[in-house]
Amino acid sequence: MDITINGQAKRLEVEKGTPLLWVIRDEVGLTGTKFGCGVASCGNCTVHLDGKAVKSCAVNVEQVANREITTIEGLKRSRCLCGETSMGKK
């Protein structure tokens, strides 16, 4: 299967029905997308699919052929992060 992730074409051999989350993490090696609940309610696994936010634990890999996937690693920083939400800050 051919996918495009963060602007790069990838050819992968994965089983049909595999959640996109596990393809991103285990096959592509991008670990910024996190596992949370596995039932598409927490949002930890959110990625952009053709510019729209989707929960990657609820999208099967065959649904992303010929579409653009963007993970957190693929997002461009437009400005410095302030750090206000860093752990330990009150």
User: Is residue 83 a part of any domain in this protein?
Assistant: no
User: What CATH number is attached to the domain comprising 31?
Assistant: 3.10.20.30
Using one digit for the tens of pLDDT, what is the confidence trace for 12-57?
A: 999 999 999 999 999 999 999 999 999 999 999 999 999 999 999 9
CA 33 to chain centre: 5
Tokens of 61: 């890999």
In sequence order, which residues have a C-beta less than 8 Å from that of residue 38 and are 6 or more positions away? 57
Using one digit for the tens of pLDDT, what is the confidence trace for 57-71?
A: 999 999 999 899 999
- Looking at the structure of the chain, the number of domains it has is 1
Residue 74 has pLDDT above 80, yes or no: yes
User: Is residue 56 a part of any domain in this protein?
Assistant: yes
User: Is residue 82 a part of any domain in this protein?
Assistant: no
Residue 42 is part of which domain span? 2-74
Residue 90 has pLDDT above 60, yes or no: no
Task: Tell me how many helices (H) and strands (E) the chain has.
Answer: 1, 5
In sequence order, which residues have a C-beta less than 8 Å from that of residue 30 and are 6 or more positions away? 5, 6, 24, 71, 73
User: Is residue 63 a part of any domain in this protein?
Assistant: yes
User: Is residue 87 a part of any domain in this protein?
Assistant: no
